[in-house]
Amino acid sequence: MGGTSDEREVSLSSGAQVAHALREAGHEVVAVDTVRGVIPPAEERRLLTEGVRAAPPLPSDLERLDEGHTVALTRDPDVGDVDVFFLALHGGSGEDGTIQALLDVAGVAYTGSDRLGCSLAMDKEVTKRLLRDAGVPTPDWMTGDPAADDVMDALGLPVIVKAAGGGSSLRLVLAHDRVELSEAIQASRGWNDVVLFERYVKGRELTVGILGDQALPVGEIIPAHELFDYACKYQPGLAQEIFPADLPADVARRLQELALRAHRALRMRDFSRVDFVLDEAGTPWCLEANALPGMTANSLVPKAARAAGIGFPALCDRLAALASARKKGPLS
């Protein structure tokens, strides 16, 4: 958990709750921040009670973190004999396939998608191309550094402006008019990422978790803000998250089928979360897929699992078991 992405706070909260849940399921657990190393029990307890702060860490704070511990991760005496690495990392090198590649080289078992699945899902433009090829509807888009008029001509208004490699709804703007779009284009030039412009689809926000190779019950998100932004995701009372969603059975099945198709097209494994908007005509549009979705007890995938009768400790235990079945190299 932890790491140096702008989703560090979310990852620490996920990791602390996963560690607690795994202990409840009977496992021995060592909590590791890829930046600082093994986390002492008192620090774990603090993370459990603190939750996610209202704002992500500042870039200056992240720049001060030392990533040197990551290289030595599998040689740390406290983690050298583990059976499974449970990844509760979000964003950056924890979700883009970098850590997964390191663990593959080390020959250890870890939860979730491998380096290919993570890298495909992390890049939102690559995701959209693969979704389109797999027959999963996704809103029209364009990338690059276009003029505001070109974006409006191609995609209309309002329009979504977001970083292709972002997560937790960070670096995401809904531009309603030409002025807001021009300002978003200017701001995006400092993101150090491919910028994606996406046609805005108004409708119900829905999400489908995948566990193993099965789709979990569809959930609906009703945010207090216009978008399901960082604050709505992690601050209490700013979003209703309803599982299962109040949908006709055929619509729910269609969303689950599309989510499984997306999960497979992006080569993800073990678990994922696929997000949709259901427009006013009843057409589902896939926005993105998450190879390492949030894993606090109140995150979307655990809520979907709970709706399917799977409690949080049992969910974490099942993910560890899926990884354990793949053990190879020094652990085999």
Catalytic residue among 275, 306, 317, 318: 275
Whether 24 is a known active-site residue: answer no
Catalytic residue among 5, 168, 188, 272: 168
- Which amino acid is present at 154? A
For residues 197 and 185, what is the distance between their CA atoms, to the nearest angstrom?
9
Catalytic residue among 5, 11, 290, 299: 290
Whether 168 is a known active-site residue: answer yes
Alpha-carbon distances, residue 42 vs 2, 16, 37 (angstroms): 16, 11, 14
Catalytic residue among 8, 115, 269, 273: 273
Alpha-carbon distances, residue 219 vs 177, 205, 215, 306 (angstroms): 31, 9, 11, 11
Whether 45 is a known active-site residue: answer no
Place of tokens 């993570």: 118
Q: What is the DSSP track for 224-284?
A: SSSS--HHHHHSTTSEEEESS-S--HHHHHHHHHHHHHHHHHTT--SEEEEEEEEETTS-E
Residues constituting the chain: 332
Whether 200 is a known active-site residue: answer no
Within 10 angstroms of residue 321's Cβ, the number of other Cβ atoms is 14
For residues 69 and 75, what is the distance between their CA atoms, to the nearest angstrom?
10
Whether 275 is a known active-site residue: answer yes
Whether 7 is a known active-site residue: answer yes
Phi-psi category of 309—alpha, beta or left, where left has phi over 0 and alpha has psi -120 to 50? Answer: left
Query: Cis bond leading into 284, ω under 30°?
Result: no
At 215, list the tokens: 């789709």
Catalytic residue among 93, 167, 234, 272: 234
Catalytic residue among 288, 306, 317, 318: 288
Helix axes 115-122, 124-133, angle to 10 degrees: 100
Whether 290 is a known active-site residue: answer yes
Whether 193 is a known active-site residue: answer no
For residues 35 and 18, what is the distance between their CA atoms, to the nearest angstrom?
18
Place of tokens 């004999």: 81
Catalytic residue among 117, 166, 219, 294: 294
Catalytic residue among 2, 5, 7, 110: 7
So which residues are the catalytic ones? 7, 168, 234, 273, 275, 288, 290, 294
